[in-house]
Every structure is written in C-alpha cells, then in structure tokens.
Amino acid sequence: MGGTDALHNYDVETDPPAIEPVEHRIRLDFMAGGPIRRDQLLEKYNSWKGGPENIDPWKQSGTAKPEGLKYAEETCCRTLKEEERYYDCFEDDRALSEAPAFLAHRLRQCRSATDPEEALHSERKRRATWYRKLIPWLNLYQVLKKSSYGTLFGSSAGPQPNAEALTRQNTLVGMVVLGDDDQTPSKYARSHSLPAKYVIREADLSCSESSAAARPSEFGIELPAPLLVGEYTTGGRYPFIPWSDGLVCSCPYKHDQPWRVLCKHELLAAVVAGDQNSIFLPVTKGLEIPHRARRFVSPDFSD
C-alpha cells in the first residue's frame, strides 16, 4: 500500500478525511439492521423531488422501513445535535481538538473568513441540510430502491437475501491490481506464482470507465496492490479502496456527489459484514489480502 495508507496519518488542513465519522456509524447501523427484504425497497420514489417536508415514502407506500435505515436516520439526528456545541466555540482550538476532523477543518475556515459569523451561519445551515435532507432523502432513500440495491439481488436470491444469497451472485474477490506501466497480468502472475485470473490491470476495472469514479491510484495507493474487488451481478467490477481508516467503493455513484455517504455496493457490504459479525469483509473468492484492505469500518467507531 502507499505511504499515506501505511502511516494512517492525515493532515486535515491540507487533506480533509474522505470518510466522516457519520459514514462509519451509518455502516454500523445497516450492519445491525440485518438483511433487507425485496418488499422493503421503494419503487416509485424520486429522490430529487423528496425532502423532509414531504411524506415519508415508506409510510406513503404502506411498506415496512428497513431497520438499518431507521438506525441511520437516528444517527443523523443525533450527530446533528452532537455537533451543535462546536459552533458556539469555533474560535477555541482546545474545543475544536475534540470535534470530528472534517468539521474542525471547516470551522477553522469559517474563523479565517472575511465575515466569520456569516461563514459560521452558512456552515451550520449546510450541515443541517446534509443530515436532514441530503443523507437520508437524496442518498439513502435513493439507494434503497428496487432500481438500485434491488439490482444486486438477482432472480434467485429469495425475498430476504442474506449474506450467503448476496455473495452467491456478488462476489468479493481478492486480487492484485496492476498499474498501466507494470508487467502484463500473466507475466506478473507467473513471476509471483499467482493464478492469472486474480491479477488485473487498473484500467480493466469498471472504475476506469467513468470520470466520476475513483481509481485506486488516485487515492494514493501504490500499484501493484492487493485489493478487495466486488464483482456484481449488474456487471460492474469495482475495487474497495482503503482510505480514512476504512474502505470506500470506487463506483461513480459514490464519487459523483461528495455528500453521498453510501452506495448500493457499500450497503451490500454492510449486510454481508453484519452477517459475519465483523468489521472486516470476507474474501469469497481469490487471493488472501491484508486486513487493511478488508476493514469496512474504522475500529474507533466499532467499539
């Protein structure tokens, strides 16, 4: 892995964390919530037209809301309240040292703005919108649709796909990912006595097909690197990238909008990890890879 990955040490002033604490908590919420039934997924919901001023789409459709989503919404409300105290002391470095790193970074930026009070008001409003509307209504509700998470079920997964049913059609593969200038996969495999089918060029991953997606090398991962690659029933092949003490999916949905905290592939990973009762994702096929490349949730938030 790259140098920054090995050190687990990031300067938030120049490189704010890509994964906030709330993202880890939401992953734990869906892990605790268990499998999600087909009949719990939304069908007609339009996330771009939804918001907290509207009727809850599950109540409107008479469908049971997934337990993990209930927990995640409680997390959003609780986190918004937890952050309130930092706005009143945004000029106090001692107080900000206890705040989540990304929030502390944003509040220090407010402090150095031309009009600090106006910048603080704007940041407070932005965070409230994130927790009340963007995360639940535009992100989580969108993922929990038949046209999103439901596409990973496959036809034979049953009405309530558990980890075994999900990974029967969506495999988590241990692979070595090569850079464009490295040896050919077949030559690299021979020189390291590896099965050639588990060695792949970064350019042949699905994340290389979209400018909105994230390549491992763009996250500071030095290639060749052993990574966990999700091969999905939808045809996508996206690696999970070690970052900010956890994993981030490289698919375009996750990276097209910076406020999104979860994609359908990470939701599937949460259900699988919850069934395993572990913060580490299993390798269902392929090579054994380091724990760092399988750690779905930061240990700091899993206690």
Q: pLDDT higher for 120 or 157?
A: 120
Nearest to 30 by CA among 292, 294, 261: 261
267 burial via Cβ count (<10 Å: 0-12, 13-18, 19+): buried
CA dihedral (296, 299, 301, 303) in degrees, to 10, reads: 120
Cβ-based neighbours of 82, under 8 Å, separated by 6 or more: none
Q: Average of pLDDT values for 192-220?
A: 93
Q: If you average pLDDT over every residue of the chain, what do you get?
A: 89
In this prediction, residue 14 has a pLDDT band, given cuts at 50, 70 and 90, of: low
Is pTM beyond 0.75? Reply is: yes
- Whole-number pLDDT of residue 19: 60
Per DSSP, which regions of 189-251 are E strands? 199-201, 225-231, 237-243, 246-249
- Residues 86 and 111: their CA atoms lie apart, in Å, by 12
192: CB partners within 8 A, 6+ apart: 176
> Tell me: the pLDDT tens digits for 265-286?
999 999 999 999 999 999 999 9
Q: List Cβ<8 Å contacts ≥24 apart for 114-120.
A: 116/90, 116/91, 120/87, 120/90
Token pair recorded at residue 42: 């939304």
For position 49, what pLDDT does the model report?
86
The predicted-structure confidence for 249-262, as pLDDT tens digits, reads as follows 999 999 988 889 99
263 neighbors 254 (Cβ within 8 angstroms): yes
Token code pair at residue 9: 């040490």
Of 17, 28, 100, 66, nearest to 295 by C-alpha is: 28
